[in-house]
């Protein structure tokens, strides 16, 4: 009987590409493996040293003060790729500090090849002071030799036998050379901090980057709510909140988890921060995610604001390793991971619901701060039924997660002002009756509010155009100036849009009569002449003189007008404690450009806020201003039938 032939399994040097380069292509991922090894070696400090700039000669060093390795350790442990340092056990402890060992697969030592072509190792053993230095060269390891058949020889660069005097220098320095990265890693310290809880949870383990410790928090963004701290008293979550802010819960499987989740005031822009990370024994096992939840969530928008951490050490103790080698994801298809997945999904759903409610309540409280201290007082001034409607509408707006505080304050102020002005009441009542307001509801309401506001304004513009038409009739009839004056007194905006807030000034009636009498006396004119119209707004006085439509502007009227203004101005300047400190004037007549001498004078007066305008210009400008405004309103809601009908009537 012939003997059966045998087969042999071997590995090509190119396997290094799969175990190192392809799995650890970022500086953070690669160096994190070396930090893990330092933890397993009972180091108390790890120093990561980056050069000032990255070029072909740059080096990155990772220095730890762990127990180091003997020459034999280098051969039997470090240089055995795939060696599980935990042995047959699902968990292991470090030699001196009994720390939970992070390393498991025995390939993290190759992570440096993801960012460098050479890995130089210098190690001094704490047990006997033995010192060994060697280098792993990627190009040499990639050779065509089959490592399983012919182990690759590694040249020892330096070696010193055991020496008790060198024990004080114990530890390992890994230097990455011939870097393949082209620039300094972006936000390296923050990203590294997100991979480990060890510096936060272990007093005897610190990591430094160029002399600076890793930040305690991975972000300095503004946090709005912190859970479990902000859990309501009547929460149904069975958890214990520890002094350090972590909540502890027990899964149905009996395994223990710890968690904390923050919700920021604004959406989180960084993908690496948005979601919940899972850590096992202080090292990341799953990068931020939402426990595989998709669509149909209450307050799903809140996922953009959520960032949290879960400690689930037990997942690193299963017989089967369910954590991917690069520590980016957990194998959630594994049945042992299911209890954690289901627990996490419920946690996210619960927190989203609580966040939505808490955020709405907070928004309602900020109205007085953002809008002004009288917002509550204005609400209280409404009738009880109206107050209830407005409050319910504000509550519905506050429940929309995508609205930030400033936007809500603006909407709240607009809503109350509209109600007080008698506008949009039906629409606001509709808002108050919506059971659960979504962004789409708000969008539809804002579109309708835009249309209604445009219609309301268009009605007001229509009225103004009717007023202009009335003035045009009086001018064409050449009514007496008193008739025209009274008409303009009621509609000061006819002179120009900026005068719309001005009203007839009555408190200075006797003083104006006195000033006019003095002017007429000085000019030797009619002592019974009065200033035609005085308007005011705030500290600004506006004097308007009219000539009957059809009559040309003459030198006497120009002189009288100018003297009026100067006399009033002089009196106001002398009475510095009075209400008015500024005076302007208009004289309105026809044919103001007929005499060149008058034109020169009119131009000079304009420098002192004394203006001349003919009746035709006044009409044309008033009409153009409001007719153009009507066009703008029409463009805002071009397809609205109500606006089209209104425009047809104008």
Q: 213, 233, 266: which is the final residue of a domain?
A: 213
Same domain (yes/no): 60, 141? yes
Q: Supply the pLDDT for residue 35.
A: 92
- Could you tell me if residue 455 is inside a domain? no
7 found inside a domain? no
- pLDDT recorded at residue 379: 81
pLDDT, residue 249, reads: 94
- Predicted confidence (pLDDT) per residue in 118-152, tens digit: 999 999 999 999 999 999 888 887 765 555 556 77
Give the least confident one: 335-339, 430-434, 472-476: 430-434
Cα atoms in the Cβ-side hemisphere of radius 13 Å centred on 409: 14
**Would you say residue 640 has pLDDT above 70?**
no
Residue 105 and residue 190 in one domain:
yes
Confirm if 285 and 315 have CB atoms less than 8 A apart. yes
Q: What share of the chain is helix, strand, coil (3-state, %, to 5)?
A: 45, 20, 40
Higher pLDDT, 259 or 147: 259
Does residue 644 sit within a domain? Answer: no
For residue 23, what pLDDT is reported?
67
Least confident piece of the model among 31-45, 101-115, 324-338, 624-638: 624-638
Residues 567 and 604 in one domain: yes
pLDDT band, very low/low/confident/very high, at 415 (cuts 50, 70, 90):
confident
Q: Indicate whether 421 belongs to any domain.
A: yes
Q: Is residue 545 part of a domain?
A: yes
CA angle 501, 507, 509 (to 5 degrees): 110
Cβ proximity of 531 and 564 under 8 Å: yes
Is the same domain home to 136 and 258? no
What is the distance between the alpha carbons of residues 94 and 85, in angstroms, rounded to a whole number? 10
pLDDT digits (tens, 9 = 90+) for 331-359: 999 999 999 999 999 999 999 989 988 88
What's the confidence (pLDDT) of residue 445?
57
Q: What is the pLDDT of residue 327?
A: 66
Per DSSP, what are the bridge partners of residue 419? none
Q: Of 146-150, 434-438, 470-474, 634-638, which gets the smallest average pLDDT?
A: 146-150
In a shared domain, residues 78 and 188 = yes
Which whole number is the average pLDDT over 473-478?
Answer: 82
- Confidence (pLDDT) at 172: 96
Tens-place pLDDT, residues 303-318: 888 999 999 999 988 8
Residues 402 and 57: their CA atoms lie apart, in Å, by 49
What integer pLDDT is reported at residue 220 of this predicted model? 47
Q: How is 491-557 classified by DSSP, letter by letter? A: -GGGT-GGGTT-EE--TTHHHHHHHHHHHHHHHT--TT---SEEEEETTEEEEEEE--TTPBP-HHH
Q: Determine the distance from the C-alpha atom of residue 46 to the mean position of all C-alpha atoms in its chain, rounded to a whole number.
A: 35
What lies within 8 Å, CB to CB, of 329 at 6+ separation is: 286, 287, 323
Secondary structure of residue 221 in the 3-state scheme: coil
Q: Are 643 and 458 in contact (CB under 8 A)?
A: yes
353, 394: one domain: no
Do residues 248 and 153 share a domain?
no
Same domain assignment for residues 431 and 475? no
**Between the CA atoms of 98, 104, 109 and 115, what dihedral angle is there, to the nearest 10 degrees?**
-120
Let me know if residue 49 belongs to a domain. yes
Q: What is the pLDDT of residue 474?
A: 83
When divided into structural domains, the chain yields a total of: 4
Closest CA to 565 of 590, 585, 540, 592: 585
- The percentage of the chain sitting over the pLDDT mark of 70, rounded to a whole number, equals 79
| Predicted pLDDT at 401 | 67
Can you name the residues that pair with 116 across neighbouring β-strands?
179
pLDDT (average), residues 7-12: 51
Per-residue pLDDT, 91: 64
pLDDT at 621: 83
The residue-averaged pLDDT of 548-556 equals 86
Backbone angles phi, psi at 544, to 5 degrees: -125, 130
CB 564 within 8 Å of CB 583: no
Looking at the fold, whether 209 and 227 belong to one and the same domain comes out as: no
Do 301 and 316 reside in the same domain of the chain? yes
**What's the pLDDT band for 218 if we cut at 50, 70, 90?**
very low
Q: What is the mean pLDDT of residues 394-406?
A: 73
Confidence of residue 192 (pLDDT cuts 50, 70, 90): confident
Higher model confidence: residue 379 or residue 332?
332
On whether residue 632 sits in a domain, the answer given is no
Chain mean pLDDT for the chain: 81
- The Cβ of residue 588 has, within 10 Å, a number of other Cβ atoms equal to 26
Find the CATH number of the domain harbouring 608.
3.40.91
What is the per-residue pLDDT for 464? 75
Distance CA 346, CA 362 (A): 24
- 612 or 455, higher pLDDT: 612
Q: How confident is the model at residue 9 (pLDDT cuts 50, 70, 90)?
A: very low
Q: Which of these, 494, 450, 459, lies nearest to 647 by C-alpha position?
A: 459
Does residue 5 have a pLDDT over 80?
A: no
Residue 562 has pLDDT above 60, yes or no: yes
Residue 650 has pLDDT above 80, yes or no: no
Task: Give the end of a domain, one of 304, 324, 357.
Answer: 357
Q: What is the CATH number of the domain that holds 252?
A: 3.30.230
- Local confidence band at 419 (pLDDT 50, 70, 90 cut-offs): confident
- Its domain, for residue 433, covers 372-437
Say whether both 319 and 428 belong to one domain: no
Determine what percent of the chain is predicted with pLDDT higher than 90. Answer: 25
CA dist., res. 246 & res. 259, Å (int):
6
Mean pLDDT over residues 144-171, rounded?
82
Q: What are phi and psi of 115, to 5 degrees?
A: -130, 0
Taking residues 355-384, what's their average pLDDT?
Answer: 76
Query: For residue range 55-104, what is the model confidence (pLDDT) as tens digits?
Result: 878 999 999 999 999 999 998 888 887 666 555 555 678 889 888 888 76
pLDDT at 424 over 70: no
Please state at what angle helix 615-636 crosses helix 641-649, rounded to 10 degrees. 160
Q: What is the pLDDT of residue 436?
A: 64
Average pLDDT over residues 567-588: 87
Domain membership flag for residue 6: no
Condensed to tens digits (0 to 9), the pLDDT of residues 490-531 reads 777 777 777 778 888 888 888 878 877 777 777 666 556 678
**Boundary-marking domain end, from 188, 213, 238:** 213
Q: Within this chain, do residues 235 and 270 fall inside the same structural domain, yes or no?
A: yes
Three-state DSSP at 286 gives strand
- Name the least confident of 158-172, 251-265, 277-291, 585-599: 585-599
More confident residue, 80 or 435: 80
């Amino acid at each position: 009987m012939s003997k059966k032939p045998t087969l042999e399994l071997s590995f090509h040097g190119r396997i290094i590409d799969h175990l190192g380069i392809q799995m650890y292509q970022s500086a953070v991922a690669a160096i994190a493996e070396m930090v893990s090894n330092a933890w397993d070696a009972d180091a108390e400090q790890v120093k990561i040293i980056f050069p000032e700039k990255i070029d072909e000669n740059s080096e990155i060093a990772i220095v730890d003060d762990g127990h180091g390795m003997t020459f034999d350790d280098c051969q039997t442990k470090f240089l055995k790729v795939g060696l599980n340092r935990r042995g047959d056990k699902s968990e292991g402890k470090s030699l001196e500090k009994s720390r939970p060992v992070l390393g498991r697969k025995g390939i993290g030592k190759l992570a440096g090849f993801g960012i460098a072509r050479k890995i130089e190792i210098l190690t001094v053993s704490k047990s006997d002071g033995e010192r060994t230095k060697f280098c792993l060269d990627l190009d040499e390891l990639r050779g065509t030799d089959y490592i399983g058949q012919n182990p690759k020889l590694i040249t020892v660069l330096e070696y010193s036998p055991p020496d008790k005097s060198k024990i004080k220098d114990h530890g390992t320095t890994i230097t990455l050379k011939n870097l393949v990265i082209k620039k300094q890693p972006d936000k390296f310290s923050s990203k590294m901090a997100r991979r480990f809880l060890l510096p936060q949870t272990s007093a005897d383990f610190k990591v430094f980057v160029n002399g600076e410790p890793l930040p305690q928090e991975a972000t300095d963004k503004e946090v709005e709510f912190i859970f479990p701290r902000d859990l309501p008293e009547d929460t149904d979550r069975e958890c214990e909140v520890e002094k350090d802010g972590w909540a502890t819960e027990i899964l149905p499987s009996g395994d223990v988890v710890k968690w904390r989740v923050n919700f920021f005031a604004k959406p989180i822009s960084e993908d690496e921060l948005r979601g919940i990370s899972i850590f096992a024994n202080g090292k990341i096992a799953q990068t931020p995610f939402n426990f595989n939840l998709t669509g149909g969530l209450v307050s799903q928008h809140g996922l953009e604001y959520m960032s949290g951490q879960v400690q689930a050490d037990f997942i690193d103790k299963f017989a089967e390793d369910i954590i991917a080698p690069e520590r980016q994801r957990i194998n959630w298809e594994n049945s042992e991971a299911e209890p954690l997945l289901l627990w996490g999904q419920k946690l996210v759903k619960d927190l989203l619901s609580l966040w939505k409610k808490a955020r709405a309540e907070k928004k309602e409280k900020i109205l007085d701060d953002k809008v002004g201290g009288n917002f509550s007082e204005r609400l209280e001034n409404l009738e009880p039924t109206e107050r209830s409607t407005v409050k319910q509408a504000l509550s519905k707006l506050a429940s929309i997660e995508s609205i930030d505080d400033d936007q809500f304050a603006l909407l709240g102020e607009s809503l109350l002002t509209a109600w007080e002005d008698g506008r949009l009441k039906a629409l606001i009542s509709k808002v108050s009756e919506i059971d659960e307001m979504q962004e789409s509801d708000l969008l539809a309401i804002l579109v309708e509010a835009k249309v209604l506001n445009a219609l309301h304004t268009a009605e007001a513009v229509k009225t103004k155009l009717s007023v202009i038409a009335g003035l045009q009739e009086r001018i064409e009839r050449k009514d007496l100036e008193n008739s025209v004056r009274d008409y303009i007194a009621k509609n000061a905006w006819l002179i120009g849009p900026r005068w719309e807030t001005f009203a007839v000034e009555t408190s200075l009636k006797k003083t104006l009569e006195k000033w006019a009498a003095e002017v007429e006396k000085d000019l030797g004119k009619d002592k019974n002449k009065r200033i035609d119209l005085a308007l005011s707004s705030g500290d600004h006085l506006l004097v308007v003189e009219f000539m009957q439509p059809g009559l040309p502007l003459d030198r006497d009227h120009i002189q009288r007008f100018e003297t009026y203004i100067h006399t009033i101005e002089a009196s106001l300047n002398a009475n510095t404690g009075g209400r008015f400190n500024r005076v302007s004037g208009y004289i309105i007549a026809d044919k103001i450009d007929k005499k060149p001498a008058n034109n020169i004078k009119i131009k000079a007066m304009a420098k002192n806020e004394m203006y001349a305008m003919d009746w035709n210009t006044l009409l044309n400008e008033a009409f153009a201003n409001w007719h153009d405004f009507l066009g703008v309103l029409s463009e805002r809601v071009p397809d609205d039938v109500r606006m089209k009908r209104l425009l047809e009537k104008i």
